[in-house]
Structure 1
Amino acid sequence: MQHYAYWTERSYKRSFGLRMLGFALGLLVLIAPVYAQEVLRIPYVADIGTFDPDNGFEVGGISAINNVYEGLVDYEPGSTRIVGLLAKSWEISDDGLTYTFHLVDGVKFHDGTPFNAAAVIQAFERRRDGGLILSYFLANVKDMRAPDDSTVVLTLGHPQPSFLDTLSSPWGPKIISPVALAEHDNGDFATTWLNEHAAGTGPFKLAEFKRGQRYVLERNDDYWGDKPFFRQIQISVVPDISQQILQLQAGTIDAVPIDYPFAQLTSLPGGLEITAAPSMIPYYLFVKPNSPLDDAEVSKAVLTAINPALWVKDAFGEFASVSRSVYPNVMLDPVNPIRFPTDFEAAKAAIARHGGVNLTIGLYSAAPSYGRIADLMIAQLALIGVKATAYVLPAGAAYTLKDDPNPPDLLLTIAGPDAAHPESQARAFFTRNGSLNFFGQVLPEADAVVDRAGQLIDVKGRDALYERAGQMYFDAGIVIPLVDVNDVVVHAKGLKDLGLRPVNPPGNIDFATVRWGP
């Protein structure tokens, strides 16, 4: 009996255990989707160089940084409208020199330090005075004051109507915990520590930084604003787009933020969908001095052949439009758009009179879009007798072309601005001292128009002058605008409110707004 009782008790325990196991598995089935919904899995094609918001021009990872750190103002998602962030309101003096910001109450940094005006001043001084890469954003700020804990007063050296756009830029100044700055300043303004650590006020905290492998953001449950949908953002480094696509189809990541082949967008597998939004992603050709295009007849013939209206659909389908000026279409709607000549017979005759023309096109990147555009233009140029070749420039070589003894005749590159104001486009790419004036081309009379435009507050008058200067740069053969490409993210069905902003580099999902939805 005892033997029998023993096995009966054992059988009962085994049966009870199986029932409990089944119950637990059932719970897991119910819990797993909930857990998965709380975690967003995003791949990056390139590693994050630094998480320091003041000391690196991050592109692919800017949304991660901007969900950990915040500035005074920001661009509204899907728009170039400036809205308050850590500043709830502001005033600008009549002379355009003094900006007074009134700060949001009750904000704390991730390390528990209270946010106040003194923290803003310290963070801004670090960027402006620390010799950091992005110091130029505040170069015109001559004085900073905090009359009380909730007010910041910035005084400019000269009127700068683009100043609020500068502060709203994805790379604009962010506020860092003053305690963290003090604790980790080893004579380097805490740059070493901030490369891989963070202490901001944003909706997410940096929880894990494994260089070249993965990054994890955790929701800031003490955030002063609206709480994000996702509890955690898991970011993996997956340089190969084909691997990203396979992972997306297998359900191990939730989106391919950039570089999904445009040719495949019309036949996505089931379970995937597209979010596309207007963006400031214009592809341009910059022209070197003393190129074959210095000849007006050759230039007109080449423009006829490469007219982007002839190939934009082949390259990007419905996700791009012909550029209307030397500024992104979202930034400026020109009264008189740039026009390309269309007489192919005249173009062929012109090239024949010159005994044939050879052109080299340097590609800023090996990304598929560059090669696709180049191939299409080369085919078009062949139709008029121009022999063109293209090659991918070494990393960073585009920034040294003005000193290159043998540069390409044309540089194909994306020319996206820092901010939504035309000043940021003109000053960076076209004027004499522009940091991205790739070939160092100079047109003083156009620069003078840009100078005048930069002083105007009236948008209509301002844009008219910027448009005139842009036409001058184009007519002088300095830059050839081609196409503006949408920001296109391929993701699992049901992912909503990606928060894409026109000024942001492509694929930068706003982790604070994105969610699962019907």
Structure 2
Amino acid sequence: MLTASLAACAASERDSAAGGNDGTMVFGAAGAPALFDPFYASDGETFRVTRQMMEGLVGYKPGTAEVQPELATGWEQSEDGTTWTFQLREGVKFHDGTPFNAEAVCANFERWYNQTGAGQNSALSYYWIETFGGFADDDKPSLYESCEAPDPTTAVINLARPTSKFPDALGLDSFSMQSPTAMEKYQANNVRAQGSSFVYSEYAKKHPTGTGPFKFESYNEGNGTITLTRNENYWGEKAKLSRLIFKIIPDENVRKEELLAGSIDGYDFPNPADLQSLSDAGFNVQVRDPFNIMYLGITQKNNPALRDLKVRKALAYAVDRKNLVQANLPEGAEVATQFYPDTVDGYAKDVQKYSHNPEKAKQLLAEAGHSDLTLRFYWPTQVTRPYMPDPRGIFNAIAGDLRAVGITVEPVSKPWNGGYLDDVNNARADLFLLGWTGDYNSPDNFIGTFFGSTENQFYTAAAPWGEDLAKQLQAADREPDPAKREAMYAEINRKLMAQYLPAVPLSHSPPAIVTSKQVKGLQPSPLTAEEFASVSMSEE
């Protein structure tokens, strides 16, 4: 009954649309958001919703990963890269009618920096910790020092050191500007741990308040629908839709069936095997530019054999990445030669490459004394990722390549959020499949995230090169001169592939998004960060 009623509601509103500036779109979401306060989130399904309601100082140019003004109209950095002055857009109001200004900017930064208790947990403040480091009351260094509001349209952010992350990182959904008044009224910081999960505030569940083109109306957890309505007082061009509904449908096959039935108007990450049939049926299949990486992770902490560079290189030579891309990934996927795509600064064309060479792999294993190697190879179930649309097929292809060079593979499969990520992060897997979609266009967002700390599964005390690599990544991030910084990252990429090889880069994959032919104006994003304000529903 839910499907029929939603479809009827959507059809009714579309039928009454006038000039494409009204109507409802129903989008099939792959999962439920835990909350609607993006600062405490790190998952794409939460951000998919909050992105429609909230904006940052900067955003990303539609269809690209290029930074552009959003709530800030421009910015300047000091010569040493530690002081950033943002000129703010005038006349902007939050959804509760309170003004967006420099004091609101500083209130948001101070809120983030002054988190206490559960708010400092990396499961909640993931992007703050990854981007800025520590908090006001702990002993961990923080990139953030202070925020000043010399006048209503000028905000000054002071940093402890220069960083390659600025200003691009401020476009992350976690750093969206939210109403200080609403956050205080509904106790946004009132978050506490409860067992292995968290209890969130009234603000995070019912009253998220930004400046964006859509406003929060309701979340019906019973039928799994989130409803947003158009912000009639939006500072820019108003949304063409009067209502935007996200319907939570975890199963990709069910999302496809509901699209075919007309009860939803679109969904994300369709199975690559379905792209042609969906297109032939008249649906809009839009393939994003690849801005991601899938890699074969190698855990060195518990298996001495994997600490030998010859063994890691043997793994790289064993995998037939060209066949993997052609057989298991969508059209437009590319073999990866390093850990980020060629559109990111510091991409080095002259890195050491590993063509499929089983004999070379066998030779290296023999030289290392590990011709009889046995490895626990983990792969995830109950998930599809933009970079990994078919985990089982990808695992089978790579496992077959490894067995062909004499490696005994012990398969281990677990649900993505039901043990897989925990086991991978706690170094229980010898090999594993993982990847990343870039949050913004920066080398640090890729290789800094993977290898910038020695506190992860890639390193071991017996591999001191991990500390050297982490120091090189930190130095590159702190270099204020863009040309010097790019050269430093290029050299790091060369060393990653020739001297370190902590993992094997596999592919860059172009994830798709599919909508009905009634949906017009959707601009696909390489960041998988689509905004729906430009969408209209036709009467076709």
What is the TM-score of this pair, normalised by structure 2? 0.82
How big is the shift at 1:471? 3.4
How big is the shift at 1:316? 1.2
**Structure 2 equivalent of residue 444 of structure 1:** 467
Instruction: Tell whether 2:271 aligns with 1:261.
Output: yes
How big is the shift at 1:400? 5.5
SS at match of 2:394: helix
| Structure 2 CA distance for partners of 1:245 and 1:342, relative to 1, 3 Å | closer
Q: 1:398 aligns with which of 421, 432, 436?
A: 421
How big is the shift at 1:489? 0.6
| Structure 2 CA distance for partners of 1:346 and 1:142, relative to 1, 3 Å | closer
**Structure 2 equivalent of residue 498 of structure 1:** 522
How big is the shift at 1:514? 2.8
Instruction: Tell whether 2:199 aligns with 1:178.
Output: no
C-alpha separation between the residues in 1 aligned to 2:12 and 2:339?
54
CA displacement, residues 366-417 of structure 1 (integer Å, 9 cap, x when unaligned): 335222211111122233232324333352553554645xx12112112234
- Name the Cα RMSD after superposition: 2.7
C-alpha separation between the residues in 1 aligned to 2:309 and 2:54?
50
Letter in 2 for 1:193: E
**Structure 2 equivalent of residue 312 of structure 1:** 325
C-alpha separation between the residues in 1 aligned to 2:472 and 2:342?
20
The answer (yes or no) to whether the contact 2:268–2:512 under 8 Å persists in 1 is yes
Letter in 2 for 1:281: N
| Structure 2 CA distance for partners of 1:494 and 1:152, relative to 1, 3 Å | same
The answer (yes or no) to whether the contact 1:400–1:438 under 8 Å persists in 2 is no
C-alpha separation between the residues in 1 aligned to 2:91 and 2:27?
31
Instruction: Tell whether 2:151 aligns with 1:158.
Output: no
The answer (yes or no) to whether the contact 1:278–1:330 under 8 Å persists in 2 is no
C-alpha separation between the residues in 2 aligned to 1:358 and 1:351?
12
C-alpha separation between the residues in 1 aligned to 2:159 and 2:313?
44
How big is the shift at 1:450? 1.6
Instruction: Tell whether 2:202 aligns with 1:193.
Output: yes
Q: Bigger CA drift: 319-328 or 394-403?
A: 394-403
| Structure 2 CA distance for partners of 1:412 and 1:105, relative to 1, 3 Å | same
Letter in 1 for 2:510: N
C-alpha separation between the residues in 1 aligned to 2:24 and 2:325?
37
Within 5 Å, give how 1:199-218 maps onto structure 2. 199-211=209-221, 213-218=224-229
Instruction: Tell whether 2:65 aligns with 1:80.
Output: yes
* Residue correspondences, number: 482
C-alpha separation between the residues in 2 aligned to 1:380 and 1:403?
26
The answer (yes or no) to whether the contact 1:46–1:238 under 8 Å persists in 2 is yes
C-alpha separation between the residues in 1 aligned to 2:315 and 2:144?
44
**Structure 1 equivalent of residue 47 of structure 2:** 62
| Structure 2 CA distance for partners of 1:182 and 1:321, relative to 1, 3 Å | same
Q: 1:331 aligns with which of 320, 338, 344?
A: 344
| Structure 2 CA distance for partners of 1:354 and 1:335, relative to 1, 3 Å | closer
C-alpha separation between the residues in 1 aligned to 2:204 and 2:501?
41
Within 5 Å, give how 1:128-139 maps onto structure 2. 128-131=113-116, 132=119, 133=125, 134-136=127-129, 137-138=131-132, 139=142
The answer (yes or no) to whether the contact 2:309–2:500 under 8 Å persists in 1 is no
The answer (yes or no) to whether the contact 1:280–1:329 under 8 Å persists in 2 is no
Letter in 1 for 2:170: L
Q: Bigger CA drift: 263-272 or 99-108?
A: 263-272
SS at match of 1:40: strand
Q: 1:277 aligns with which of 288, 309, 328?
A: 288
Post-superposition, which runs of at least 4 consecutive aligned residues in structure 1 deviate over 6 A? 28-31
C-alpha separation between the residues in 1 aligned to 2:115 and 2:331?
45
| Structure 2 CA distance for partners of 1:57 and 1:317, relative to 1, 3 Å | closer
How big is the shift at 1:189? 7.7
Identity %: 27
**Structure 1 equivalent of residue 372 of structure 2:** 356
The answer (yes or no) to whether the contact 1:325–1:338 under 8 Å persists in 2 is no
The structure with the larger Rg is: 1
C-alpha separation between the residues in 2 aligned to 1:337 and 1:350?
20
Q: 1:428 aligns with which of 417, 442, 449?
A: 449
| Structure 2 CA distance for partners of 1:231 and 1:402, relative to 1, 3 Å | closer
| Structure 2 CA distance for partners of 1:298 and 1:428, relative to 1, 3 Å | closer
C-alpha separation between the residues in 2 aligned to 1:30 and 1:182?
36
